[in-house]
Amino acid sequence: MLGSIGSTEMLILVLLIILLFGGKELPHIVRTISKGWHSIQKTRNQVENEIRDMFNDRDDFSG
């Protein structure tokens, strides 16, 4: 989903955020978004690994 955002759209989003929140709040906002994004990626990787392990365990039992 985010892979389809181009550089122009990203620049517009950044400018809107700066206009809405001001330059002082920008580092805090970026930090918060970054932490959330990393948390989502970590959770996604954990779920993928659990699903992969579940299928591997199933293959081990089937013989």
pLDDT digits (tens, 9 = 90+) for 11-23: 888 888 888 888 8
Answer whether 17's CB lies under 8 Å from 32's CB.
no
* Cα 52 from Cα 46, distance rounded (Å): 10
Q: How far apart are CA 50 and CA 63, in angstroms?
A: 20
Residues 11-56 have pLDDT tens digits of 888 888 888 888 888 888 889 989 999 999 999 999 999 999 988 8
Residue range of the domain that includes 45: 23-63
* Whether this model's pTM surpasses 0.85: no
Asked if residue 40 belongs to a domain, the reply is yes
Return the higher-pLDDT residue of 60 and 24. Answer: 24
Domain presence at residue 4: no
The number of folded domains in the chain is 1
More confident residue, 6 or 50: 50
pLDDT at 63 over 60: no
